[in-house]
Amino acid sequence: MIQSRITRCLGLAAAIFFGALATAVHAQDYPSRPIRLIVPFPPGGTTDTLARVFSQFLQERIGQPIVIDNRGGAGSQIGVDAGAKAPADGYTLLFGPADGLSLLPAVKKKVPYDTAKDFTPIAFVARSPLAYAVNSKLPVNTLAELIAYARSKPGALRFGSAGFGSILHLGMELLRVDARIDMLHVPYKGGGPALQDLIAGQIEMMSPGPVGIAKRAEAGQLRVLAQTGPTRHPLLPNVPTTAELGMPELQVVSWFGVLGPAGLPQPIVDQLSREIAAVLDQPAVKKRFIDVGCEADRMSPAQFGQFIAAETRKWAGVVKAAGLQLQD
């Protein structure tokens, strides 16, 4: 019996050793073939454009093509779920947006993945602030004036969004809760139609990203009162941040990062993290990101995982405080 136990222990130790050896050898050769990068939105939007810019520079560093796989649908849930269920070999990665990783879990009764358990965070890539913008005919010029105006006319202000549970929606709900004002949400099938109605005066307010509003604000088509990032975005250099205006809790960013499925070997995570960090440090990358309304930013895999968890808790709290009904 003792002999049998010793044999089993030796067999287990050998299996662990050779498994670890195989993983190490695999990581040394990685990547040896093209990498598929799942983008959970259709072609043409900000997420897709950013992913293509990013992948162009990353593939130059790793020496293998990166193939964009657009898996749009259900507010990014379909593509994010595909990333969670991919093989953990480093050849299928997810270009994960805030939408599917921290917003949908906050606004839906159930999603088919667990953000904390089903992914391996690899690298934070970029962030983009929102901006509180109003129709040019609304008689307010500052965020404080907007809040005062909304309090004087409860329920009269209409704000548009890209749909229930989108970052444009929840960014406004955060303002509504924090400033204790009553506004009417008007959901649209995308941020573009909402922005057109804002300019036309069909709604009074929304919180789009910087690309869609910078030139329109210069042309006097709308008025930008504040932006919600930690610093002023280069496309909106004259617009104060909410922190500058004494409301640091109104920090809202749309963010993007690279993740793998759970169980991704640590050597591959470390290698990808290093290569992505080198990409994000390139001045050409920083400029291209700014052009699409984003800013390059870096976090370690551990920091990125902690950030996702904090964002998920934050938006779940906003949804609860705003009294929003969870969606099926």
Domain ranges within the chain, ordered by starting residue: 31-128+255-322, 131-227
- Looking at residue 36, its pLDDT comes to 98
Residues whose CB falls within 8 Å of the CB of residue 56, separated by 6 or more in sequence, listed in order: none
Fold of the 31-128+255-322 domain: D-Maltodextrin-Binding Protein; domain 2 (3.40.190)
End-to-end CA distance of the chain: 56
Q: Are 61 and 278 in contact (CB under 8 A)?
A: yes
Closest CA to 240 of 132, 109, 102, 326: 132
- Looking at residue 242, its pLDDT comes to 97
Q: Name residues of the chain where pLDDT drops below 70.
A: 1-27
CA dist 68 and 88 (Å) reads: 18
Dihedral of CA atoms 309, 313, 319, 322 in degrees, nearest 10, equals -140
- Does 31-128+255-322 match 131-227 in CATH topology? yes
Q: Which CATH superfamily hosts domain 131-227?
A: Periplasmic binding protein-like II (3.40.190.10)
Residues whose CB falls within 8 Å of the CB of residue 323, separated by 6 or more in sequence, listed in order: none
Collapsed DSSP state (helix, strand, coil) of residue 68: strand
What residue has token string 């002023």? 232
Closest CA to 316 of 104, 13, 25: 104
- Looking at residue 28, its pLDDT comes to 75
Dihedral of CA atoms 214, 218, 219, 225 in degrees, nearest 10, equals 80
CA dist 268 and 274 (Å) reads: 10
* Cβ neighbours of 56 (radius 10 Å): 13
Provide the sign of the torsion angle of the four alpha carbons 144, 148, 151, 157, taken in this order: negative
- Looking at residue 10, its pLDDT comes to 47
Q: Are 227 and 150 in contact (CB under 8 A)?
A: no
Collapsed DSSP state (helix, strand, coil) of residue 58: helix
- Looking at residue 190, its pLDDT comes to 86
CA dist 58 and 24 (Å) reads: 22
CA dist 107 and 5 (Å) reads: 52
